[in-house]
Every structure is written in C-alpha cells, then in structure tokens.
C-alpha cells in the first residue's frame, strides 16, 4: 500500500543504510527477534553497492587472522571486544550457512569460492528476504529526531521506491541503527550524511580523512614507471609520532603510487596532514636493508664485477626500468662501470635505494579511498551493545565509527562483528 506524508506507521527497528553493516545487523537482529518489525532504509535503489565493488569485484570478506593491530582509530579495547563477539571462525560459519564458502589467499585474505562479490550480496539479500526484513530502497533519510521514547525519521522517497509514495514522509521507530558508512566512494550512496545525523543526536565526530587511498606524487619518476609493481618498504615519519613502517606491494601509476602498502600508508599521511604535523614518506626498494648494508653490497659488487655497468648491476636488485629511471632521477650515470663508481655516487645510490622521499602532493581523495578514517568516537558507544552513550535507542555500526582497518578484509570484519553485537543490544533495549 502506498503511504505518503507523516503517518502513524511505527517500526521496532529502523536501520539507516543497507551496506555490509546494515544488512548484517538486520539479519542478526531478525534471527533473534522474528516478530519484531525491522526495516532497512537506504537512499540507493539497490543494496550492497559497495560490497559489489569490493576486493576488485571479488569481495575480501574477512581475514584468517584479525586482531586489534589491523585497525586504526578509537580505543583498541572496544575494537577487541566487538571483534571477539563474532570471531573470524563464526563469520566463516555464518557465510557457510548462507551458502557462501570462502577460501584463503595470500596474506590470509578470505574470498568467496565463486570469486564474485555478487555471491556475497545475493546471499545477504536472500537471507534478509527469508527473514522478512523490509528493505525500503530509494528511501533517503534526511533527518532523525528523538521524540519521547521513539524516533521520527524524515525520509525522501524517490519515484523508484516500491513502498510509499514518492515525496517526503516521516516514519517512526523505537530503535534506530546508523549504518550509513563513511564518505569513501560516494557514488555508492555513502556520502557522509550519517555523520550529521549522529551529530544532531548528540555525538561528536573525530575529524574525517580518506584512508586506503592511492597517493598523488609530484615529479616525473612515477610517470616513467607506470604499471610496474614491486615489493617495497614505506616509512611514514611525522612530528611527534613513532615512525610507521609498512611493507608490501606498491604499484607505480600515471598519477603517483597505489597498491596495498601505499593504501595502508595513506591514512597516516592524511592524519598527520590534518593535524598540521610535517610528514614524509620514504621508500626503500630493499625492505629490511639499511643504508650501510646496501652500501656494503655495492662495494662488494664493485670488487666482484668491476666492468659491469651500474644500471645492469642495479637491475639484479630492482626491475631494470626502475633502476634506470631511479639513476636518472638522482643524476648518476648508469653507464659507469662498477669499478669506477665514485664514492659520492655510490652513497647517493645507496641512499636512493633505501630512503627515497616520495613527493606526496595529496591522496586521490574520497572518490578513490576504500574507507574513511575518523567518525563517531568509540568512547561514545557501549562496546557490549553498540548502543550510543549519547542517545537512548540509537545504535551505530560499521564505517561511521572511528575505526579503519588495513587492506585485507578487516573493514568488513568490523562491519560483521559490530552488526552481531548490535543485534544483541537492540534485543535487550526493546525488551527493557
């Protein structure tokens, strides 16, 4: 039946946002409380858009080992408590129940056996339908107000909605779950509107930055090496902070650098920049080797292969194109025979191999970031229930919270575990 305007329709639970966290919250909650009316309201016409593009279209559902060290942001005690409530083993079992078998790939990443993200989305939607979760797509929430012991939710209903007349309407709910995600990849529907709603309900917001974002570089080196991928070590140094040393694969691109190690480093660059701290990222092409070790290596090469040209000698350590472009960028001739390499040039090369500063101009921003750092502080929720400490009846799950995981399936695990905890919290709140 089409309904429009402010009407008396009242839900037990309104979940704002039907991404990973919202869908999982609906499923876990409805399994516990089959008789409660639970609806997902989402501005998008289809749910789970971000899951579909995740993991290169394959959805890295979780990781074999997930610990608090895989996350940045708020209190690690709360992160630990939430993760423990739905462990990786139970997450694997949950997806198996839904008919999604997972397999492990390098670095512990777990993907669906189908290697297709739509297997994950379809399974979540099927389960939500089986449980009679109402999925109100094309329902964009504009504001949420606490009124007496319930919430009034102002919704814009688009013409493609299958329930309710297009236009403005107000729904009511006893509990609200904010699962609106962050600001990353806004074309999927996650444009950060949830932060303003959380703030209007009494929450503070830890300032936001993109995280897991490719980095844009100044200079010419990256353009010459576009398409080359290599294992490197990146050290992010910023005033007053311990250096963050990360290793992994880096991809040179036409705009700068990408790949897992760069995406992981980007949040540290952004947080330091946001806080006005000087920050540098230096690149080592030879992870684990310091300047002295590399200089000794070069000295040994000079003795063992005095006639070999420098660029050929370096090509035993790096991709040949990288060796050539690197030498050109530091103004050392690659054609010099190793036996005639001057000390100053040798030191310059050793320095470039172990501590080449990346000239970071910016990241590619939210349009390319996989997650958002910052958000609702974990100190403002109860980690046993995901309930807001600021507004009774409100729950928060997923990326809207001040937690961002590294690459590897950790952000989804945060969403699944938080959803599981919230379901228990909502049940207790409705029964109280």
Ligand X SMILES: Cc1cc2nc3c(=O)[nH]c(=O)nc-3n(C[C@H](O)[C@H](O)[C@H](O)COP(=O)(O)OP(=O)(O)OC[C@H]3O[C@@H](n4cnc5c(N)ncnc54)[C@H](O)[C@@H]3O)c2cc1C
Interface ranges with ligand X (CB under 6 A): 16-22, 41-44, 50, 53-55, 59-60, 140-141, 179-181, 184-185, 189-190, 193-194, 370-371, 398-399, 409-412, 415
Q: Which lies closer to ligand X via its Cβ, residue 19 or residue 374?
A: 19
> Exposure of 160 by Cβ count < 10 A (0-12 exposed, 13-18 middle, 19+ buried)?
exposed
Q: Which residues pair with 309 in a beta bridge?
A: 337
Radius of gyration of the chain (CA): 25
C-alpha span between 137 and 145 (Å, rounded): 21
The values of phi and psi at residue 367, to 5°, are: -65, -25
Shortest distance, position 61 Cβ to ligand X, whole Å: 7
Q: Which lies closer to ligand X via its Cβ, residue 233 or residue 399?
A: 399
Shortest distance, position 325 Cβ to ligand X, whole Å: 29
Question: C-alpha distances in angstroms, 57 versus 60, 97, 272?
Answer: 9, 22, 31
Q: Which lies closer to ligand X via its Cβ, residue 85 or residue 283?
A: 85
Q: Which lies closer to ligand X via its Cβ, residue 109 or residue 311?
A: 109
By C-alpha distance, which of 321, 372, 338, 331 is closest to 191? Answer: 372
Shortest distance, position 75 Cβ to ligand X, whole Å: 18
Q: Which lies closer to ligand X via its Cβ, residue 45 or residue 340?
A: 45
Shortest distance, position 118 Cβ to ligand X, whole Å: 14
Shortest distance, position 16 Cβ to ligand X, whole Å: 5
Other CB atoms closer than 10 Å to residue 21's CB: what's the count? Answer: 31
Shortest distance, position 398 Cβ to ligand X, whole Å: 2
Q: Which lies closer to ligand X via its Cβ, residue 41 or residue 294?
A: 41
Q: What is the DSSP letter of 144?
A: E
Other CB atoms closer than 10 Å to residue 235's CB: what's the count? Answer: 17
Q: Which lies closer to ligand X via its Cβ, residue 14 or residue 150?
A: 14
Shortest distance, position 187 Cβ to ligand X, whole Å: 10
Secondary structure class of 315 (helix, strand, coil): coil
Q: What is the DSSP letter of 365?
A: -
Pairing state between β 5-16 and 167-178: parallel
> Exposure of 194 by Cβ count < 10 A (0-12 exposed, 13-18 middle, 19+ buried)?
buried
Shortest distance, position 285 Cβ to ligand X, whole Å: 27
Angle between the N-to-C axes of helices 410-431 and 88-97, in degrees from 0 to 180, rounded to the nearest 10: 80
Q: Which lies closer to ligand X via its Cβ, residue 190 or residue 363?
A: 190
What residues have CB less than 8 Å from 404, skipping those under 6 apart? 71, 72, 73, 211, 212, 267, 371, 372, 373, 411
Q: Are 73 and 418 in contact, with CB atoms under 8 Å apart?
A: no
Shortest distance, position 42 Cβ to ligand X, whole Å: 4
By C-alpha distance, which of 368, 372, 432 is closest to 401? Answer: 372
What residues have CB less than 8 Å from 143, skipping those under 6 apart? 153, 154, 197, 200
CA 422 to chain centre: 20
Q: Which lies closer to ligand X via its Cβ, residue 194 or residue 256?
A: 194
Shortest distance, position 183 Cβ to ligand X, whole Å: 9
Q: Which lies closer to ligand X via its Cβ, residue 44 or residue 279?
A: 44
Q: What is the DSSP letter of 337?
A: B
């Amino acid at each position: 039946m089409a309904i429009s305007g402010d009407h008396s329709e009242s839900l037990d639970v309104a979940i704002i946002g039907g991404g990973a966290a919202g869908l999982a919250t609906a499923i876990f909650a409805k399994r516990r409380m089959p008789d409660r009316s639970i609806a997902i309201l989402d501005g998008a016409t289809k749910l789970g858009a971000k899951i579909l593009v995740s993991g290169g279209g394959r959805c890295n559902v979780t990781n074999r080992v997930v610990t608090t060290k895989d996350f940045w942001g708020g209190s690690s005690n709360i992160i630990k408590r939430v993760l423990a409530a739905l462990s990786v083993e139970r997450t694997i079992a949950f997806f198996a129940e839904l008919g999604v078998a997972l397999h492990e790939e390098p670095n512990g990443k777990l993907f669906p056996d189908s290697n297709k993200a739509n297997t994950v989305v379809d399974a979540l939607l099927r389960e939500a339908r089986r449980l009679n979760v109402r999925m109100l797509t094309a329902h964009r929430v504009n504001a949420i107000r606490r009124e007496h012991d319930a919430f009034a939710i102002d919704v814009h209903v688009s013409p493609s909605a299958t329930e309710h007349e297009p236009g403005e309407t107000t729904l009511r709910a006893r509990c609200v779950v904010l699962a609106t995600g962050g600001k990353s990849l806004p074309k999927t529907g996650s444009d950060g509107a949830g932060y303003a709603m959380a703030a209007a309900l009494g929450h503070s917001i830890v300032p936001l930055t993109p995280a897991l974002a490719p980095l844009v570089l100044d200079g010419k080196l990256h353009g010459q090496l576009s398409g080359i991928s290599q294992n490197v070590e990146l050290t992010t140094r910023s005033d007053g902070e311990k250096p963050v040393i990360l290793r992994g694969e880096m991809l040179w691109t036409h705009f700068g650098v990408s790949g897992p190690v760069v995406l992981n480093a980007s949040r540290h660059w952004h947080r330091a920049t946001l806080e006005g701290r000087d920050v540098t990222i230096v690149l080592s092409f030879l992870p684990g080797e310091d300047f002295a070790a590399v200089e000794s290596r070069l000295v040994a090469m000079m003795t063992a292969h005095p006639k070999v040209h420098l660029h050929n000698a370096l090509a035993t350590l790096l991709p040949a194109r990288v060796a050539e472009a690197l030498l050109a960028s530091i103004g050392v001739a690659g054609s010099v025979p190793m036996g005639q390499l001057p000390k100053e040039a040798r030191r310059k090369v050793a320095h470039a191999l172990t501590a080449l500063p990346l000239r970071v101009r910016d990241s590619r921003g939210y349009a390319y970031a996989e997650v958002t750092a910052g958000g609702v502080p974990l100190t403002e929720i109860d980690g046993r229930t995901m309930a807001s400490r600021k507004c009774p009846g409100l729950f928060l799950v997923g990326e809207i919270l001040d937690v961002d995981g590294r690459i590897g399936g950790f952000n989804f695990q945060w969403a699944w575990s938080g959803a599981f905890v919230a379901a228990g919290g909502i049940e207790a709140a409705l029964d109280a």
